[in-house]
Amino acid sequence: MSTFEAVAVRAREASHELALATRATKDAALLAMAAALVGGTRQVLAANEDDVRAARETGTAEPLLDRLRLDEARVAGMADGLRQVAGLPDPVGEVLRGSTLANGLELRQVRVPFGVVGIIYEARPNVTADAAGICLKAGNAVLLRGSSSARRTNEVVVELLRGAADASGLPADVVQLVPGDGRESAKELMRARGLVDVLIPRGGAGLIRSVVAESTVPVIETGVGNCHVYVDRAADLEKALDIVLNAKTHRPSVCNAAESLLVHADVAEAFVPRVVAALQDAGVTVHGDAVFAALDGVLPATDDDYAAEYLSLDIAAAVVPDLEAAVRHIRTWSSGHTEAIVTDSQEAARRFAAMVDSAVVTVNASTRFTDGGEFGFGAEIGISTQKLHARGPMGLPEMTSTKYVLTGDGQVR
């Protein structure tokens, strides 16, 4: 048995015990994990400092360094996420539907854990705590395969979480790091069908494509975020300016940041110079069509720009003749994550929401709200852009499957 197989078998055994745990036990473990993170902040930050230094020395881009970097506030946020999950209802055992059949049999469909969940993710050590907490509350053991750039941080975080789980009466092996940080360790996780029930990739387009193409374990696909903001002819332009700036600049390195801006031709003369000036004042480089590129400092946009998930202070922009053209642009270039419309027209909002096929559509609000915490789900596993099982922010219910329980009194067929 390989080292990975031994880890996966331990996860499977831990999942059997976790499936029987009460909500009280799981919540106590989550609160203990939160306390352990806060108590171990100094250790976490020391390890993270080493990871960030090593990443910087290898030329890692600043947006990725931002994803990797932790500070006291971010560690506290990880702990808060665990506490929030502890306060949420336990999805395990929830009855989704039930009936009494004509023959007297009682039929119930109930939520149950997947069993063992694998997570492959890049750079962001906060995912380590988020994934562990959500998986535990949903009754799943988790195998975490973070990037080598965060290896030291992840090791410290997982050790703290494992100690807290053990002290709370749960097996420490409900949370484990996949051994090794090379390509082969990821392949072992992707091909562990029978040991791992579900695999979730979180990261860039290359990682997600690789996992979807190579995995024999069922995959819940989380998508990259080429998110659009469309400013309609009926938009309140002050409101639109605030939304565009927030969506682009609040935290540009995350998947729900806006990467593309579309402006209706009827308001372009009034809005385009204002939004370009505001974006440039905020340090954003605008890549635009002919209307935008006529302004100083705007770079001509290419198809690569309209397809890009920049994860940086860059935005692609275009003027469109009408709402339908905006939707066609989105259908061509969107990653299916989040699209926003700014409009005072209920009809335009309704048509946009009906025509755009993305996981989340926002009306008169920033794309930055596509987030499990903002939706009230607590910490999230990721944003699913596929259409099977889960779509949008994946919270506790999305981390379960279902089974049918049939109860009779001697009936035979």
The DSSP annotation for 78-129 comes to HHHHHHHHHTSPP-TT-EEEEEE-TTS-EEEEEEEE-SEEEEEE-S-THHHH
> Which tokens in the block code for residue 240?
């639109």
Q: What is the pLDDT of residue 113?
A: 97
Q: How far apart are alpha carbons 139 and 195 in whole angstroms?
A: 16
pLDDT by residue for the chain (413 residues), tens digit each? 889 999 999 999 999 999 999 999 999 999 999 999 999 999 999 999 999 999 999 998 887 888 899 999 999 999 998 999 999 999 999 999 999 999 999 999 999 999 999 999 987 899 999 999 999 999 999 999 999 999 999 999 999 999 999 999 999 999 999 998 788 889 999 999 999 999 999 877 788 889 989 999 999 988 789 999 999 999 999 999 999 999 999 999 889 999 999 999 999 999 999 999 999 999 999 999 999 999 999 999 999 999 999 989 999 999 999 999 999 999 999 999 999 999 999 999 999 999 999 999 999 999 999 998 898 876 678 888 888 788 898 889 999 999 999 999 999 99
Q: How far apart are alpha carbons 227 and 250 in whole angstroms?
A: 14
User: 332, exposed or middle or buried, with CB in 10 Å at 0-12, 13-18, 19+?
Assistant: exposed
Domain locations along the chain: 3-222+381-407, 227-369
* CATH architecture for residues 227-369: 3-Layer(aba) Sandwich (3.40)
> Which tokens in the block code for residue 246?
């927030």
Residue type, position 54, single letter: A
Q: What is the pLDDT of residue 379?
A: 67
CATH of 3-222+381-407, one of 3.30.160.340, 3.40.190.10, 3.30.70.2190, 3.40.605.10: 3.40.605.10
Q: Tell me which DSSP letter residue 398 carries.
A: G
Q: What is the pLDDT of residue 1?
A: 80
Cα angle: 205, vertex 194, 209; to 5 degrees: 10
For residue 309, which of 254, 263, 244 has the smallest C-alpha distance?
A: 254
Q: How far apart are alpha carbons 144 and 365 in whole angstroms?
A: 34
Q: Quickly count helices (H) and strands (E) in the chain.
A: 15, 16
